[in-house]
Amino acid sequence: MNELHEECGIFGIFSPNNKDDIARTVYYGLHALQHRGQEGCGIAVDDDGIFSVHKDLGLVNEVFDRKAVASLGSGNIAVGHVRYSTSGSNDRSNVQPIVVNHIKGRMALAHNGNLTNSYELRSELELNGSIFHTTSDTEVISYIITKERLTSPSIEVAVSRAMDKIRGAYSLIIMSPSKLIAVRDPNGFRPLCYGVTESGEYVVASESCALNAVGARFTRDVKRGEILVFSKEKVYSITDHCNAAEPAMCIFEYIYFARPDSIIDGCSVHEARLRAGAFLAKEHPADADVVIGVPDSGIDGAIGYSEESGIPYGIGLIKNKYIGRTFIAPEQETREQAVKMKLNVVSHTVKGKRVVLIDDSIVRGTTSAVIVKLLKDAGAKEVHMRVTAPKFINACYYGTDIDDPACLIANNLSEEQIAKRIGVDSLGFLSLENVVKLPDNGKTKGYCLGCFNGRYPTDVPAFRKKTRFEKKISENGGEDGKEPQ
């Protein structure tokens, strides 16, 4: 029942031979990544230098019908993108992949992440007369690469030089007329991996579950700072930026963003969530009769808590899977009604019981309060809430929408106050000490915990980007109107 959103999923394929159903393969890959972005999506196919693109606002199922997929034709390289965005219907221009024409031909980009110096880069480009059609970082990146391409012997060299300039979180898939290029920023904020199909096609994706969906065997994760180049001649790696920064994988990928069947940087997401539950059982034990999880992402943690504590696991909440994006939410009703439509309590599981309730996070706390009320109305004697993440108290600058600390309940209230507000009998958050142990690789460093502890792995912008950018527009509007004539 998490209210946070990842901002993107990316997918690319390089086939040694022209492939009739290349768009279809990307379509399947994007389906497997749909959880990473539900606002818009797109696919670009390269058929010997001729690019075909189809993209729009909407789910993969909505944007791509049989006709749209067919219209992309055949090709040997393709790239796809699913996007989350907070903006409205006018924002079609921000849907990716972005396709640009430059002096050396065409280029398509799909990007997951967020730059921290895009404002500076954008200003500099604008001062040289550049124009922007979108408000996205991706267009900034495509500009920087294009500029470098003018004096670079190849697209990959241009990408490498661009990496000296851009800062922040970026997993990129770039398509040129003859190459597919996968890039992960030196901190490795966002996941990216690749594999090979039985027929020898290379597949790059945000998560390994997308490799599985298209029948590709997982090869390995793209390394932090690595540039992987797939071309007819060879597949090779540029590693110049590989040690340019400290590792800083987003720990929240394990807790919430990624799909449980994915394996990221060698660690199973599902297992990480079981461990989160287990850690919670040790950190915050409860005297209870049943452990239940908030579907979908609290289920794994609940099972982990149950296994560790010995308290039986139960199904206490059923999610209505038919509530789609076009669902007409109750207007004049209370928030309670809205949640009731999406979640229903299995009374048998909780009636007369002391319940441990596992969720993956508490953002504003309003949804949690309703869930707790539903459980108590159904007869739960006690509700002990356990959260498989530490408290959010800071903004994220690396590609999620944890934006305004002022909205975060944990930033304003003490743990006791939160418990009281949401009506639970006890409340426990996963500790910072244990959260870094979720990936089972023996390492307890190398993760970005910025949203929890405020220590960011890179410089961060002086002020929040989106607000700033919009202000800029209207300010200039004013100025332009007053200029002397």
Q: Is 87 in the site for its own copies (CB under 8 A)?
A: no
Among 18, 86, 87, 101, binds its own copies (CB under 8 A): 101
When binding is defined by CB under 8 A, the residue of 323, 335, 411, 420 that contacts its own copies is 323
Closest CA to 358 of 382, 339, 386, 381: 386
Cβ–Cβ < 8 Å for 41, 58: yes
Q: Which of residues 338-397 bind its own copies (CB under 8 A)?
A: 340-341, 344-349
Alpha-carbon distance 4 to 364, whole Å?
A: 10
Residue 340 vs 354, nearer CB to its own copies: 340
- Residue 384 carries which DSSP code? E
Question: Cβ of residue 191: shortest distance to its own copies, in angstroms?
Answer: 16
Dihedral angle, C-alpha 277, 280, 284, 289, nearest 10 °: 10
Residue 31 interacts with its own copies (CB under 8 A)?
yes
**Among 15, 112, 146, 309, interactor with its own copies by CB under 8 A:** 146
- Residue 97, preceding bond cis, omega within 30 degrees? yes
The minimum distance between CB 357 and its own copies, in angstroms, equals 16
Single residue of 263, 355, 387, 408 touching its own copies by CB under 8 A: 263
- Dihedral sign, CA of 451, 457, 459, 461? negative
Tokens of 215: 């029948």
Beta strands, E only, 388-449? 426-429, 447-448
Residue 260 sits in the site that holds its own copies (CB under 8 A) = yes
Indicate whether 324 belongs to the interface with its own copies (CB under 8 A).
yes
State the Cα–Cα distance between residues 14 and 161, nearest whole angstrom: 23
Reported in sequence order, the residue ranges of 277-342 that DSSP labels E, i.e. its strands, are 290-293, 317-319
Residue written as token pair 């000296």: 164
Using rule CB under 8 A, residue 271 touches its own copies: yes
Catalytic residue among 8, 193, 267, 448: 8
- Number of residues located near its own copies, criterion CB under 8 A: 121
Q: Is residue 303 within the footprint of its own copies (CB under 8 A)?
A: yes
Task: Round the CA-based radius of gyration of the chain to a whole number and report it.
Answer: 23
**Which range binds its own copies by CB under 8 A, 112-120, 400-408, 445-453, 475-483?**
475-483
Output the smallest distance, CB 62 to its own copies, in A: 8
Nearer to its own copies, 268 or 426 (CB): 268
Q: Which is nearer to its own copies, 131 or 406 (CB)?
A: 131
62 touches its own copies by CB under 8 A: yes
- By CB under 8 A, is residue 27 in contact with its own copies? yes
Q: Which long-range contacts (CB under 8 A, 24 or more apart) does 67-71 make?
A: 69/23, 69/24, 69/27, 69/43, 70/23
Q: Is 24 in the site for its own copies (CB under 8 A)?
A: yes
Nearest-CA neighbor of 88 among 133, 135, 137, 32? 135
Backbone angles phi, psi at 477, to 5 degrees: -55, -50
Quick check: 150 binds its own copies (CB under 8 A)? yes
Q: Which part of the chain contacts its own copies (CB under 8 A), choosing from 164-172, 257-265, 361-369, 441-449?
A: 257-265
The contact mask relative to its own copies for 330-349 (x = CB under 8 A, - = no) is x-x----x--xx--xxxxxx
Determine, following the binding rule CB under 8 A, whether residue 160 of this chain makes contact with its own copies.
Answer: no
**232, 282, 335, 420: which one binds its own copies (CB under 8 A):** 232
Whole-number Å distance between alpha carbons of 182 and 80: 13
Closest to its own copies by CB, 362 vs 369, is 369
Q: Which two tokens stand for residue 347?
A: 């009374």
Which of 28, 379, 403, 431 binds its own copies (CB under 8 A)? It is 28
The length of the chain, given as a count of residues: 485
Considering only residues 8, 22, 121, 155, which one is a binding residue for its own copies as defined by CB under 8 A? 155
List Cα–Cα distances, 87 to 18, 40, 81, 176, 235, in angstroms: 37, 11, 17, 29, 38
The reply on whether position 209 binds its own copies by CB under 8 A is yes
The yes-or-no answer on residue 396 being catalytic is no
Question: How remote is the C-alpha of 361 from its chain's centroid?
Answer: 16
The span of 187-195, 239-247, 409-417, 470-478 binding its own copies (CB under 8 A) equals 470-478
Letters for 179-198 (x = contact with its own copies by CB under 8 A, - = none) are: x-------------------
Is the Cβ of residue 265 or residue 395 nearer to its own copies in the bound state? Answer: 265
Burial 82-96 (b: 16+ CB within 10 A, else e): bbbbeeeeebeebbb
Q: How many Å from the N-terminal Cα to the C-terminal Cα in the chain? A: 56
Nearer residue to its own copies within complex by CB, 244 or 473: 473
Q: Which residues ranging from 2 to 21 are in contact with its own copies (CB under 8 A)?
A: 21
Under the binding rule (CB under 8 A), the answer on residue 135 touching its own copies is yes
Stretch that binds its own copies, among 7-15, 90-98, 250-258, 364-372 (CB under 8 A): 90-98
220 binds its own copies, rule: CB under 8 A: no
Helix axes 415-422, 366-377, angle to 10 degrees: 50
Residues forming the active site: 8
